Structure 1
Amino acid sequence: MFGKAHGFGEIRTEADFRERVPERNYEDYGNWIARVANGEKGVLPCGEVIAFECTSGTSSGAKLIPVTEGLREDFAYGMAAWLGGWHESYPEVFGGRAYWAISPPGIARGRTAGGLPVGLDGDGAYFPDAIGARLSDWLVVPRLSGGASEVFAETAEELLRTPDLSLVSVWSPTFLLCIDAEVALRRPGKTWREIWPQLALVSCWADASSARWIPRLRDRLGGVPIEPKGLLATEGVTSIPVGSARLAHECHYHEFLDEDGNHLACEKLRIGMVCEVLISTSGGLMRYRSGDLVRITGFTEGGVPEMRFLGRKGIVSDLVGEKLAEEAVAAAFSEAGVCGFLAADPDVPGYEVWMEDTRKSARVISKLLENPYFKQALALGQLAPCKPMALKEGWVQDLSAALALKRGCRIGDVKLPVLYQQQSSGEVAEWMG
C-alpha cells in the first residue's frame, strides 16, 4: 500500500526516491503504523511486520516501531561489524562472560490489537544467527523477579557471582550507575577493576546528555576502558563504534539534513557539519526523520563518514519566550561540575534546578544567564527566580523508574533528561519522595 501510494515501481534513482517519498517523522507514520498494529497486511514496504518494538523519545510517550525479518537482519549486520571491531581492539572481551543489558523488565510485552507481539523473543534476536544461538554460553543473565524496583539489586548480585566478567554493555550510563550503587553496598570501597580483574570493556552511551555521567562512572570502574556506543535506535542503526563511530552504511540507506534543512547525500558531507539523520530501513520506515543530530568528525580511509551524536533536535523549553535549549542546559551543568537537571514548571512559571550539591546552583544559573532571552525573562519577572532543589541519595534510580513508568518503556532504555518539562507543579518533587 505504501509502495503503491508513492509509486515505488517507477523509482529508478535516488533523486526519484527523494521526489516521490517525503521526509516523515514518527507522527507522520502514525496512520500506517496503526493499520499494521490492527492486523492489516501489506501496508508498509520491505516485507511483513513480524513484531513491534516499544521505545520512547527523550520527552515523548511510548512509540511502536515495526520490525520485519529484513530489519532484524540489518541490525545483525551492524552487530557483526561491531563485534568484529572488538576482536581487533578489545579481544579480551571474549575471554570471559558478558553482561549485556538488552531487555530488562519495565513493562509487560503484550500484543497489539491485531495480534502482533510487542518485543522479539530472546536477547539473541538482533545478533547474527551464528552468535545468537550461542549467547546462553556467553551472557550473564540475572535471575530477575520481574519488578522494576528490584532490577538493580538482583543484577548486582548475579554479576558478583560471575568472577570472570569481561564485558558490560548497557544503554544508559545511569543504568549502570544504579547497578553500581548496589555493588558498592555489597563490596564497599572496591572498584569494578578490583572486583572483576578480567573486565576488559564497558560499552554505554557517552555523548550528548549522557556525557555528564561518564566521569563518575570512570571513577567507579577503576581503569576499565569505556567505549561510547554508536548511534543505535530502535528504528535503525546510524553509526557503529568501530575504532570511531562511523556510518553504519551496511545496515540502511542514510541521508542528512543540514542546519538549514537542506538535503545532503553522504558524499556531500564535510568535517564540522551538524546534520539531522534520515534513515530508510528494511522495517518499512522510508526517509524517516530520526531527530538525531550528529557532527561530522572525519572520514575513514574508505571515505565512510565518522560522527558524534550531539543530541535530539528541537528539545527546547519555552515557557515565556526564553528558549532554553537542551545542549545549553547540559553545558551549564557540565561546566559547573555537578550532576542534575533543570525542570520547567509551567504553573509558576519558572525553573527548578535539581542537583546533588545545591551550593553550586549559582554556577549553573550563571551559565544559563548567557541566554539573553532567559536573562530578560527573569529580570522582567516573567519567570520566577530559579529554585535550587536538592537531590537525595538514590535519585537516579527513583527518576529512572518514574520515567520508565510514565513513558511506557524499559527502565534500561531511559536516558535521564537534563531538561525536563513538568506537566504540573510538584511532578518531579513527588517522584523524588
Structure 2
Amino acid sequence: MNPSAGALLASLECWSVAAADPWVRLRELLEKHSRSDFGRAHHFGSIRSEEEFREAIPPMDYEDHRSWIERCAAGEQNVLACDEPFGFERTSGTSSEPKWIPLTNGLREEFARGLAAWFRGWQGRCPEVFAGSAYWAISPAGMIPDTSVGGLPVGAMSDVAYFPDDVGARLADWLVVPDLSGDVFEGTAEALLATPDLSVVSVWSPTFLLGIDAVVRKLRPGKTWRDLWPKLALVSCWADASSAPWIPVLRERLGGISIEPKGLLATEGITSLPDEIDGSPRLASECHWHEFLDENGDHVPVNELRIGQRYEVLLTTAGGLFRYRSGDQVEVTAAGVFPRLRFVGRMGNSSDLVGEKLHEQQVLDAFAELGVRGFLVAAPKVPGYELWLEDLKEEGRVMNLLRRNPYFDQALRLGQLAPVKTCRLPPDWSLTLASALVHSRGGRLGDVKLPALLTNIDPEVVASWLG
C-alpha cells in the first residue's frame, strides 16, 4: 500500500460511523444550532419529531436561503448555524446570480463520514486503488477567487478543503497535484504521465477526463490508459443522466480499466455514495438528513420509497442548509435502510414556448435510447428549437422520439413552433460548451453537467461558443 494512502485511511478511521437512526443526528444538529437566528426563527429548540421539523420549515430553495447566507458573508455571527462558515464555495444556479454555499467545520465532518464509507468500500472491493498515487479532480479553471464583504474567501477552494484538516492534509499527500498555471488539461496530462504508479482517478464529469485524454493522445499517440498506467485500478466519475452517453467513449480510451459510477455528490452535500459491498449508489444517510418529495410535492419517508419511482431530494446539512431543495431527481432502484438511488437529472428544467411542455428528461431519454450525443436549444424569438448533434444522420430518429410528447408534436404540426433547425457539433464540443457555461454561470470546469436542454441562453450565443 502507498504510505500516503495508508496514512489517509488511518485518519479516516475516526469518521467511520455505524448505521444509526438519522433522526438522532438531525436532533443533535437542531440542538446545536437552536441559538442561531435561523434556529430561533424556526423554533429549533422545541422540535421533538420529524413531523414537527417539517411543520417548522417548508421545503426551501436557494433563494429562500439567500438573505441568510448574505448576512453570513457580511460577517454576522450565529445567523444560519452556530458553527460559523470559514468560507464559501460558488456553484452555478438557474439565475444569473451564482449560489454561495457556506463551508463550516460541521459540514467538513459530514463529508469526512462519507469519504470514510466510500474508501472503506474500496478497501473491500478494490484495494488496488491504494497501491499507488491518486488523481483527484481539483479544477479551479474558470473560478476566480473572491472575498466576501465580511472578509471570508469565496470560490477556488480545492476538494481537500471539504474535509477536516487532518484528513485533507493526508489526502493532499496522496494526490498528484498538477501545475495549473497554464492550460488545465495540458498541466494535468503532463503530471499524470510523470506518475507511472497512478492507481486511481476520481473526477466529476467524464467529459473533463476526456479533455485530459485529448492531450494524452497527442503526447502518447496510440496508447490507452491501461497501456500508460498498468497500476490504474479504477476510475470514478458521474455515469448517469447527461453523463451516460460519454461512458462508452471513456471506456474505450481507458482500455478496460473499471469505471465506478460516482454517487450524487455536490457542493451543497452528499446524497448517495457507492455501496461498500457492490458499489451501487446508495443513500448517504451517515452524512446529512435526507428527505424526498414525490411528483406531487408530498413528503415520502425513506422506508416508503418505491422502486422505480422518482423523487426530488431535500438536504439538511451542518453547513446551514435546511430542507434545501437540491434540484436533483433520483430514481429508486432498490429499497431498504440504504435505498439505492440513480440520478436521473435536474428538476424543473423544461421549455414551454407555446404549450409544448418539453422536459429535459424527455430529451435525455431520446438520446439515451439512440446512443447519440448532443443537446437541444430553445429559441423563444422564433419560436422554435435548434437540435445540435454529432451525427446529423440521427436527426430523424431523435425527432421521432421527441415527438412522443404529444404537445410538442402538435405544436410542430400546427406550425406553432418553427421546424427544428439541426446543427452539426464540432470536434471537442463538450469541452468548449463546458468552458463557456463556466464562464457565463460560474462554477468549476470539472463540475459541469452538460445540459441536454438549454432554455435561458440565446441560440446565437450558443452558436458563437461552438464556432
TM-score normalised by L of structure 1: 0.95
Q: SS state of the match for residue 275, structure 1? A: strand
**What residue number does 1:281 align with?**
317
Do the aligned partners of 2:140 and 2:157 also contact (CA within 8 Å) in 1?
no
Question: Per-residue deviation at 1:271?
Answer: 2.2
Residue among 324, 335, 338 paired with 1:304: 338
Distance (Å, rounded) in 2 between the aligned partners of 1:57 and 1:222:
36
Deviations 1:113-138 (A, max 9, x none): 12111147554223455442223432
Residue among 441, 449, 453 paired with 1:407: 441
Do the aligned partners of 1:80 and 1:128 also contact (CA within 8 Å) in 2?
no
Question: Per-residue deviation at 1:210?
Answer: 1.0
Distance (Å, rounded) in 2 between the aligned partners of 1:135 and 1:401:
27
Structure 1 residue identity aligned to 2:184: V
**2:353 is the counterpart of 1:319:** yes
Structure 1 ranges of 4+ moved more than 4 A: 57-61
Deviations 1:148-176 (A, max 9, x none): xx111221121111111111111001111
**What residue number does 1:367 align with?**
401
Q: How does 1:37-76 map to 2 (within 5 A)?
A: 37-57=73-93, 61-76=97-112
Distance (Å, rounded) in 2 between the aligned partners of 1:142 and 1:414:
20
Distance (Å, rounded) in 1 between the aligned partners of 2:141 and 2:458:
28
Q: SS state of the match for residue 232, structure 1? A: coil
**What residue number does 1:229 align with?**
262
Question: Per-residue deviation at 1:367?
Answer: 0.9
Residue among 372, 377, 380 paired with 1:338: 372
Unaligned runs of 5+ in 2: 1-36
Question: Per-residue deviation at 1:327?
Answer: 1.2
Distance (Å, rounded) in 1 between the aligned partners of 2:233 and 2:61:
39
Do the aligned partners of 1:257 and 1:263 also contact (CA within 8 Å) in 2?
yes
Question: Per-residue deviation at 1:53?
Answer: 0.9
**What residue number does 1:426 align with?**
460
Do the aligned partners of 2:350 and 2:360 also contact (CA within 8 Å) in 1?
yes
Do the aligned partners of 2:143 and 2:156 also contact (CA within 8 Å) in 1?
no
Q: How does 1:339-358 map to 2 (within 5 A)?
A: 339-358=373-392
**What residue number does 2:223 align with?**
190
**What residue number does 2:54 align with?**
18
What is the aligned residue count? 428
Distance (Å, rounded) in 2 between the aligned partners of 1:124 and 1:118:
15
Do the aligned partners of 1:46 and 1:70 also contact (CA within 8 Å) in 2?
no
Question: Per-residue deviation at 1:45?
Answer: 2.5
Deviations 1:204-227 (A, max 9, x none): 011111111111111111111111
Q: 1:343 to 1:249 in 2, by over 3 A?
A: same
Question: Per-residue deviation at 1:316?
Answer: 0.7
Q: SS state of the match for residue 388, structure 2? A: strand
**What residue number does 2:213 align with?**
180
Structure 1 residue identity aligned to 2:169: A
Residue among 238, 241, 247 paired with 1:214: 247
Do the aligned partners of 1:347 and 1:424 also contact (CA within 8 Å) in 2?
no
Q: How does 1:125-144 map to 2 (within 5 A)?
A: 125-127=161-163, 129-144=165-180
Distance (Å, rounded) in 1 between the aligned partners of 2:291 and 2:430:
36
**What residue number does 1:82 align with?**
118
Distance (Å, rounded) in 2 between the aligned partners of 1:98 and 1:244:
22
Distance (Å, rounded) in 2 between the aligned partners of 1:105 and 1:145:
10
Q: SS state of the match for residue 154, structure 2? A: coil
Distance (Å, rounded) in 1 between the aligned partners of 2:126 and 2:114:
17
Distance (Å, rounded) in 2 between the aligned partners of 1:415 and 1:359:
25
Q: SS state of the match for residue 235, structure 1? A: coil
Residue among 92, 115, 118 paired with 2:128: 92
How big is the alpha-carbon RMSD for the aligned residues of Structure 1 and Structure 2?
1.7
Do the aligned partners of 1:51 and 1:67 also contact (CA within 8 Å) in 2?
yes
Q: SS state of the match for residue 134, structure 1? A: helix
Distance (Å, rounded) in 1 between the aligned partners of 2:405 and 2:300:
30
Do the aligned partners of 1:80 and 1:127 also contact (CA within 8 Å) in 2?
no
Deviations 1:69-97 (A, max 9, x none): 10111111111111111111111111111
Residue among 264, 271, 280 paired with 2:307: 271
Question: Per-residue deviation at 1:411?
Answer: 1.0
Distance (Å, rounded) in 1 between the aligned partners of 2:423 and 2:61:
36
Residue among 109, 116, 122 paired with 2:145: 109
Q: 1:35 to 1:45 in 2, by over 3 A?
A: same
Bigger shift: residues 163-172 or 128-137: 128-137
TM-score normalised by L of structure 2: 0.88
Q: SS state of the match for residue 64, structure 1? A: strand
Q: 1:23 to 1:277 in 2, by over 3 A?
A: same
